[in-house]
Amino acid sequence: MGVIEKIKEIEEEMARTQKNKATEYHLGLLKAKLARYRAQLLEPTTKSGKAGEGFDVMKSGDARVALIGFPSVGKSTFLSKMTHTASAVAAYEFTTLTAIPGVIDYEGARIQLLDLPGIVEGASQGRGRGRQVVSVAKTADLIIMMLDANKTQEQRRLLEIELEAVGIRLNKKKPDVVFKQKTGGGIVINATVKLTKIDEKAVRTVLAGYKIHNCDVMIREDITIDEFIDVLIGTRKYIPCLYVYNKVDSVSLEMIEQLAQQDHSVVISCEMGLNLDYLLERLWEELGLVKIYTKKRGEHPDLTDPICLRRGATIEHVCHGIHRSLVSKFRYALIWGKSSKFNPHAQKVGLNHPVADEDVVSIFTK
């Protein structure tokens, strides 16, 4: 029996099993098996078949954004409008057959935008180049899910199911759980909060399903059994996602209002160029980038070429952004801006000082 057949069998058994107190441990074991088989399906242990054309694109710029959606929702038109990169556009489905990169220049940052081929239902099991599409999506810093405003919400649900199946968690944080395997001593489970969705027996059942008999588990938040399985597997990707509804020029105002008020949603029209500026603002916000300007001694700061870093970056990251050898020669830095204690005056800081958006930094070396 192949992996796909085993997955189907487990899914059928889960659908047949009633959810109640008596069956929750059995369901937990089935979920653990299902996650294991899905991981095998995505990462086969042996190579088979001839070498094909490369699908992934080298990561470049300050951040990578992946465009995901069903065929013919306007992904290629969006890429052409935002990046001035030519991507084949036509009225029929599956116009794009490989990953096409483009670059958005915004606020001094270079954001790589990838137009991926349309996903079909069953992509997580390898249908329609689905496995390659979602594996490229895993390398992105943000996913834009392109949806057709004329179609039902079922399209969004199906795409979320496909991405969940391959280990991509949209707009979620990594569970606050510490899991450490050891050579002996049995299973030790500790929790710092009251657990309402899972208990110790369920944790032990899942661990037994993975043949883990010696480990330490520290649970610091109220998690579900699925989140605990994600921690055990350890290869899950937690990626922010923007749901972008295209073709809003062909729906009613009431529908636009309804779609725009949903969480993490933006309504646009690529054909008419509506709301694309606001989408860029949301992109910047979701990516959590900050701009840092550099200043040479005795000169005005260079406001034309900022260094773009992630929110929470420090002076050390700024040094790496300028040149990797700078950290070893670093003496101190002067910083002007929101992170300076004496703003608008400069503050003398070390490598661990956190920087804020639009700070000006002058670095002094030994």
One-letter identity of residue 345: H
pLDDT digits (tens, 9 = 90+) for 99-155: 778 888 887 888 888 887 766 555 555 555 556 777 778 888 999 999 999 888 888
Q: What is the pLDDT of residue 85?
A: 67
pTM: 0.80
Q: Which CATH number fits domain 63-87+95-171+237-286: 3.40.640.10, 3.40.50.300, 3.40.50.720, 3.30.465.10?
A: 3.40.50.300
Q: Are strands 265-267 and 241-246 parallel, antiparallel or unpaired?
A: parallel
Query: To 10 degrees, the CA torsion angle through 151, 156, 162, 166?
Result: 150
What pLDDT, on the 0 to 100 scale, is given for residue 42?
A: 63
**What is 289-365's CATH superfamily?**
Beta-grasp domain (3.10.20.30)
pLDDT tens figures, 279-296: 999 999 899 899 999 999
Give the pLDDT confidence score for residue 333 in this predicted structure.
Answer: 95
Q: How many CA atoms lie within 13 A of 339 on its CB side?
A: 24
Which pLDDT score is estimated for 102?
84
Beta bridge partners of 148: 246
Residues of the chain with pLDDT under 50: 48-54, 90-96
The domain locations on the chain are 3-44+175-233, 63-87+95-171+237-286, 289-365
